[in-house]
Amino acid sequence: CDDMLSTTDPTKIDKNLFFKNAKQFEQAVNGVYGQLQGITNVAYLWGEMASDNTAFDFNPADRGGAAGWEAIEYGTVNPGNGEISGLYNSHYAALYNVNNTLERLAESELEAAVREPFEGQLKFFRAYYYFNLVRYFGDVILLTNTLKSYNDAYDLQRVPQSEIFAQIEKDLTEAVALLPAAYTGQAGRVTKGAALTLLGKVYLTEKKYDDAANTLREVTKLGYSLVPDYADNFNPARKNGPESILEVQYQGDNDLGEQSNFSYVFAPRASGGVVTGWTTVVPSGRNTPTNDMMAAYETGDKRKDISLKSGYTRDGTFFPVPYVNKYNYPHTIAGRTNSNWPVFRYADVLLMLAESINEQAGPTAEALGFMNQVRERAGLKPLSGLSKEAFRTAVMQERRVELAFENHRWFDLKRVMTPVEFAAFMNAHGARERANPTVTRGSIGFSDLDYVFSPFEYLLPIPAQQILINPALSQNEEYK
């Protein structure tokens, strides 16, 4: 009789019956990668839109629906912002699967040769996600295991950033040891190079310039190189090329549901099919390059025309609504693009290396050489004779244009500035936008608080809902 009452969902596998063999572990690890897509799909909101690089194609007719994005652009976010809640939740959802798979892996009897690459990839992801969280929110809840009961979640508290950075360094150091330099027939997986790049970036963020330089130098020994044509980094026909250290993989042109749609998200709202090539999917008009960004390119920079366009022509009329062009490639099914998203490129490594060496030892020839490799590929003259301070400015400028629209800008600004400096910088940018908006605003003026930044906005607020249900959780200063 008990048999009659023991039913299970025939369409799914019970968690307790899974994690039994290498194939299932591979699926569990792939699942963690799968969650990376969702996180990457909205990462531009902060990585770019919150910074001076991009604004968005303001829609005077639809204010209510766009309120969450407007708040990010204008620096008026509050703890109730739904985008931030999604950001926070999706990171912890992915971390659960990292932790759970690591726990199951530890109990498993898989042989080391099979287990270690899995473990390395998972530890990389744990580090990557915590690195994101700590940069978004400052102190956050740190969990390296799964909770036995949901009840335990109501007492979780945030821990100081230093503890989180310690965990990130530990995970990455272990991942570097566990991961292979390359896989056979596994393009898209996290490699030793990716772990080293992330570790270098972490050290740089912590201003541990020695460690950063040493770690990043390791990457240069792994056979990466700049591709001659900058555009190849984004061309779906040349995915995972020699410059690529880690790309989020997408695949369009089919029914598998693994496509990207960045070109639609970024194309101007009213551009119809002129930009994307398909009229049947309406573009969203977000992540619009600012006037400031368009002016940032030196004359002759080959990257500008690849990365952005200053407007589009529809029915013979030119509309000056700029858009990100990097990810805009032809595809065979409306709304389903084939573009990967670059997370780490070798160019980033070279520029980080140049920056760390400059901070550590000044503008040495080695540092200059790394930066000039990137400039020369862009068709620009090499720089020389810079002071340490000038080098610092030059490398930031180079990062801005080389890595434009790849979600580095907001973090780079916060990395090199104090909260007070960051607020001042953003207020200056805001003043320029208010005076000369990148996109026309119809008859609607700016609100008083638009583009007014305070130092506390250096960090995002902890989502209100999380504090409502867990009073042990503190809010970032001044967001209360």
Partner 1 sequence: AQRQILEQRVSVRLSSETIESALKKLERTANIRFMYNPVIFPAKTELSLTARNEPLGTLLTRLLMPYEIDYEVSDQHIILKRSRSKPIPKERKTGSADRTIRGRVSDESGGQLPGVSIVVKGTQRGTVTGSDGGYELIVPDTATVLIFSFVGFLMQEIRIDNRSSLDVTMITDQKSLEELVVVGYGSQRKKDITAAVSVINVKDIGGVPPSNFTRLLQGQAAGVVATQRSGTPGEPFTVRVRGVSSLGAGSDPLYVIDGFPVGTSIGQNVNPHDIESISVLKDAAATAIYGARGSNGVILITTKTGKEGKAALSLSVDYGVQNLPDSRKVKVLTGPEFAQFKYEVFSDRFLFDKGRLPEPNEIPEGIRHPEQVTHTTNWYDAILNSNAPYTDVNLNMTAGAGPLKSMLSVGYYKEAGALIATNYDRLSVRSNLQGTVNKFITMGINLNGSYVKTNYASTNGRDAIAGSSLLLDPREPMYDDKGVLRPYIIGKDGVFAYPNPVFALQNIDRNTGIAELLGNGFIELSLAKGLKFRSSVNTRLKYDRNSQFVPSTIGVSLASGSAGAPPRIANASESNTQLANVSTDQLLTYFKEFEGGHQVDLMAGVSAQKEKVKALFGNGSDFPDDLVPYLGVAAIRSAGSLEYDWSILAYLARANYSYKDKYLLSATFRREGSSRFGSNTKFGNFPAISAGWRISDEPFMPKTNWLTDLKLRGSWGVTGNNDIGNYTHLAFMRPENYIINNTIAPGKVVESFANADLKWETSNKLDIGLDLALFDNQLVLTAEWYKQITRDMLFSIPVPSASGFTSVWTNLGRVENKGVELAANYRVKIGGVNLRTNANITFNRSKILELRGEDTTPIWSGSFYGGQHVQKIGRPIGMLYGYRKLGIFNTKAEIEASPLQDGAIPGSMKFWDADGNGEVTYDTQDMVEIGNPNPDFTWAWTVAADYKRFDLNFMFTGAQNYEMYRAIEASTMNMDGVFNVLDKAKDRWRSPENPGSNPGHKNSQGGTNFWKWGRESSDRYIYDASHAWLKNVTLGYTLASRNTIFRDARIFFSVTNLFLITKYPGNNPEANQRNERTEMGFDDESYPVPRTMAGGIRINF
Q: For residue 475, state whether it binds partner 1 (rule: CB under 8 A).
A: no
Q: Would you tell me how many other CB atoms lie within 10 Å of the CB of residue 117? A: 21
Q: For residue 464, state whether it binds partner 1 (rule: CB under 8 A).
A: yes
Q: For residue 64, state whether it binds partner 1 (rule: CB under 8 A).
A: yes
401-419 burial string, b = 16+ CB within 10 Å, else e?
bbbbbbbbbbbbbbbbeeb
Q: Whole-angstrom Cα distance, residue 222 to residue 244? A: 12
Among 225, 389, 449, 477, binds partner 1 (CB under 8 A): 449
Q: For residue 145, state whether it binds partner 1 (rule: CB under 8 A).
A: no
User: At a CB cut-off of 8 Å and minimum separation 6, what does 366 contact?
Assistant: 357
Name the token pair of 199: 């570790």
Bridge partners of 55, per DSSP, are: 288
- Determine the interface stretch with partner 1 among 147-155, 202-210, 287-295, 422-430 (rule: CB under 8 A): 147-155
- Determine the interface stretch with partner 1 among 217-225, 330-338, 362-370, 381-389 (rule: CB under 8 A): 330-338
Name the token pair of 285: 């008009």
Q: Would you tell me how many other CB atoms lie within 10 Å of the CB of residue 434? A: 14
Among 20, 21, 60, 225, binds partner 1 (CB under 8 A): 60
Q: For residue 420, state whether it binds partner 1 (rule: CB under 8 A).
A: no
> Of all helices (H) and strands (E), which one includes residue 465?
helix 464-469
Using CA of residue 468, residue 471, residue 474, residue 477, what is the dihedral sign?
Answer: positive
What DSSP line would sit under 128-186, residue for residue? HHHHHHHHHHSSEE--SS--SSGGGGGG--EE-HHHHHHHHHHHHHHHHHHS-S--SS-
Q: For residue 185, state whether it binds partner 1 (rule: CB under 8 A).
A: yes
Q: For residue 147, state whether it binds partner 1 (rule: CB under 8 A).
A: yes
Give 14 or 109: the residue with its C-beta nearer to partner 1.
14
Give 210 or 477: the residue with its C-beta nearer to partner 1.
477
Phi, psi of 109 (to 5 degrees): -110, 25
Q: Would you tell me how many other CB atoms lie within 10 Å of the CB of residue 448? A: 6
Q: For residue 32, state whether it binds partner 1 (rule: CB under 8 A).
A: yes
Q: For residue 156, state whether it binds partner 1 (rule: CB under 8 A).
A: yes
Q: How far is the CB of 369 from partner 1 (least distance, A)?
A: 34
Q: For residue 97, state whether it binds partner 1 (rule: CB under 8 A).
A: yes
- Determine the interface stretch with partner 1 among 163-171, 174-182, 185-193, 320-328 (rule: CB under 8 A): 185-193
Among 154, 210, 242, 418, binds partner 1 (CB under 8 A): 154
Q: How far is the CB of 250 from partner 1 (least distance, A)?
A: 7
Site string for partner 1, 350-389 (x = CB under 8 A): ----------------------------------------
> By the 8 A CB rule, do 234 and 347 touch?
no
Give 97 or 215: the residue with its C-beta nearer to partner 1.
97
- Determine the interface stretch with partner 1 among 111-119, 166-174, 280-288, 397-405 (rule: CB under 8 A): 280-288
Q: For residue 319, state whether it binds partner 1 (rule: CB under 8 A).
A: no
Nearest to 367 by CA among 345, 392, 344, 397: 392
Q: How far is the CB of 462 from partner 1 (least distance, A)?
A: 10
Among 41, 42, 96, 455, binds partner 1 (CB under 8 A): 96
Q: Would you tell me how many other CB atoms lie within 10 Å of the CB of residue 291? A: 17
Q: For residue 337, state whether it binds partner 1 (rule: CB under 8 A).
A: no
Among 63, 207, 221, 441, binds partner 1 (CB under 8 A): 63
Q: Whole-angstrom Cα distance, residue 219 to residue 350? A: 9
The CA-CA-CA angle for residues 224, 226, 228, to 5°, reads 140
Q: How far is the CB of 15 from partner 1 (least distance, A)?
A: 4
Give 111 or 255: the residue with its C-beta nearer to partner 1.
255
Site string for partner 1, 220-259 (x = CB under 8 A): -------------------x---------xxx---xxxx-
Q: For residue 470, state whether it binds partner 1 (rule: CB under 8 A).
A: yes
Bridge partners of 345, per DSSP, are: 244
